[in-house]
Amino acid sequence: MTSGRAIASVGQSVVSVVAMPAKPVREGLFAASSEDGTVWLLGSECTKCARTAFPASELCPYCGSDRTQVSRLPSDGVVELCTLVRKSPPGYRGPTPYGLAVIRLTSDLLIVAPVETHEVLACGTRVRCGVREVGEDEEGNLLLAPCFRVLEVQPEASLMRVVGS
Amino acid sequence: MIDTPIYIAGVGIHRFGRFPAQTLTDLGVHAFRAALHDAELPLSAIQAIYCGSVYGGVAAGHKVLGALGATSVPVVNVEAGCASGAAALLLGTLALRAQAYDCVAVLGMEKMPKGMIRSSFFDLWQEQAGLAVTPAYFALRAQQLLREEGLDVRDLAKIVVKNRANGALNPYAMFQSRVTEEEVLASPEVCEPLRLWMLCSPNEGAACVILARKAVLGRRKVRVAAITLRSHRFGNVLGEHTPLCGTAREVPPSPSELAAREAYEIAGVGPPELDLVECQDTDAARELLACRELGLYGAGECAQALREGWFLPGGKIPVNLSGGLLSKGEPLGASALGQVVYLCWQLQGRAPGGGLERCRVALAHTVGRGANASVTILQGE
Ligand SMILES: [Zn+2]
């Protein structure tokens, strides 16, 4: 699964810019490059039915096979549907408002994810995966969770395909 | 297999709403006693109890039986999200069909907190990540439906107007007042496109259905022609199992579609035979999606169905004549049986607030977290 590219855990890559130790809300949810800050959600590919699931799971939720491999999902996608969350939902301590969107990744997988925005985004808006701070856990670790960002500039070259390449 | 007919011997309900002075057990006892009275049966006739509840806690059904007079019969507490009452109905029906008993009681009851409910369904990390935001999923599903069917937010407001007008005639509904399209659109925006009044309120209530292998009373016989319960297959990004991914192509049939197909096959009827439908209007768009999943209109036909008033009282197939969850509120464990109680009344020509001239086949549908979906078809004989 791992290519030649150096993948640091998110904690390591973000420690340099924040004062407190940081960790993802869930291990194995995403990975970030220590070189250019690229963030990938981590999914799993099933070698039996060839389908991709997010978050990664040992058993394929489509067919039940245990022959799955963790893989990086494409960082880029387009908004299919988007709504705005104005009030903090239960257990959430990050910023509001934010968008919740169905995003079509460049691999054609549809995912549901938060998007950094103060308004409903139009269908077709191009977004890229990032992380956001969503409060602290009981030990005082800064919690990080995936959050997509609107791409202002959209150079074709930035649309790297990672998964399946 | 020779199909043993299963009849509804009696029904009872505790109004849906908010009742701070009453315990969950009080609500259950009320509905249970009303059903026994309706069936003209003593408690000793009940050979087993199936009790649906989501937030009821340990042995909720046992506490009701204890309060009624402990008879030592088996009590099974059932949880299947919004379909909990229907799941209890399924178990009761199967037990009678297997000839294990002659008469059982199926109870559904709930007492729920106000507002956005913290659900154990979501993991801690999902809450922390801002993903445990139930109305946003409803909103995304609503947007998809609007896009697919070429509708707009006014069409959703009209559903609320219809259901609240129906509910104004139902003394068991939480809200018994009419609203206007403008009022609905002016209510606070929750998640685009859903306004506050387009969402049902989680609340409290209880409903009870007594099932028997023989119909004894003189009133019109009502038969449980089918009761089906389905969960989901993986792949629909907006499924009620609230996944974080899904496929863009080859989306599997939804639990509601699966439950409906199975129920139509068992009952030997289809949408054209239905006289009345009660379906899951958790939000206004969900009603329209449910109608499509139940085959009341074909894909792309929704705008025409609304224009021609198919689902209005007096229309081709009235939907949520009781007022739906938008008027009644949704006490999770009780809501499916609340539908069954109302449909039974309609089939027997004794519905409060006015009945249909002709009602022989009626369908009840729920869908929710799990994912769980149920379809019940009742037939008057
Ligand atoms: Zn698979």
Residues in chain A closer than 8 A to B244 (CB atoms):
54-55, 111-113
Is residue B125 within 8 angstroms of chain A, CB to CB? yes
Q: Which CATH architecture has domain B133-201+221-380?
A: 3-Layer(aba) Sandwich (3.40)
pLDDT, chain B, mean: 95
Residue A17 has pLDDT above 90, yes or no: no
3-class SS at B56?
A: coil
Of B127, B193, B243, the CB nearest to A90: B127
Quote the ligand 1 centre to A73 CA distance (angstroms).
Answer: 17
Residue B188 has pLDDT above 70, yes or no: yes
Q: Which residues, 6 or more positions from B357, have their beta carbon under 8 angstroms from its beta carbon?
A: none
Which residues partner with A45 through β-bridges?
A52, A69
Q: Nearest CA to A38 among A1, A70, A75?
A: A75
DSSP state of A90: T
Q: Nearest CA to B43 among B13, B66, B15, B63?
A: B66
Write down the pLDDT at residue B354: 75
Q: Which residues, 6 or more positions from A96, have their beta carbon under 8 angstroms from its beta carbon?
A: A85, A86, A87, A88
Q: Provide φ and ψ at A161, rounded to 5°.
A: -100, 120
* Closest residue in B to A53 (Cα–Cα): B245
Residues in chain A closer than 8 A to B248 (CB atoms):
104, 108-110
pTM for this prediction: 0.92
Please give the interface size between A and B, counted as residue pairs whose CB atoms are below 8 Å apart: 125
Of A91, A94, A109, the CB nearest to B245: A109
Distance CA(B109)–CA(B127), nearest Å, equals 27
Residues in chain A closer than 8 A to B113 (CB atoms):
none
Q: Which CATH architecture has domain B7-113+205-212?
A: 3-Layer(aba) Sandwich (3.40)
pLDDT, chain A, mean: 84
Residue A138: which pLDDT band, with cuts at 50, 70 and 90? Answer: confident
Q: What is the pLDDT of residues B71-90, one digit of tens each?
A: 999 999 999 999 999 999 99
- Where are the domains positioned within chain B? 7-113+205-212, 133-201+221-380
Q: Nearest CA to B103 among B245, B229, B249, B217?
A: B217
Residue A157 has pLDDT above 50, yes or no: no
CB count within 10 Å of CB B59 equals 13
Distance CA(A10)–CA(A4), nearest Å, equals 18
Q: Mean pLDDT across the stretch B175-194? A: 97
Write down the pLDDT at residue B302: 98
DSSP state of A63: T
Of B123, B125, B139, the CB nearest to A83: B139
Quote the ligand 1 centre to B349 CA distance (angstroms).
Answer: 51
Q: Provide φ and ψ at A5, rounded to 5°.
A: -65, 140
Nearest CA distance, B294 vs chain A (angstrom): 24
Q: Using an 8 Å Cβ cutoff, are A81 and B143 in contact?
A: yes
Residue A4 has pLDDT above 60, yes or no: no
Tokens of B11: 């029904």
Question: CA B237, B241, B247 angle in degrees (round to 5)?
Answer: 20
DSSP state of B80: B
Contact B129 A92 (CB under 8 A): yes
Of A78-82, A122-126, B1-5, B29-33, which range is least confident? B1-5
Kind and range of the H or E element at B13?
strand B7-17
Contact A100 B140 (CB under 8 A): yes
Q: Which residue has the tokens 């849906």?
A: B16
Distance CA(B353)–CA(B321), nearest Å, equals 10
Q: What is the pLDDT of residues B105-134, one digit of tens each?
A: 999 999 987 765 677 889 999 999 999 999
Q: Which residues, 6 or more positions from B98, have their beta carbon under 8 angstroms from its beta carbon?
A: none
Residues in chain A closer than 8 A to B127 (CB atoms):
89-92
Domain B7-113+205-212 identical in fold to domain B133-201+221-380: yes
Q: Mean pLDDT across the stretch B363-369? A: 96
Q: What is the pLDDT of residues B86-101, one digit of tens each?
A: 999 999 999 999 999 9
Is residue A77 within 8 angstroms of chain B, CB to CB? no
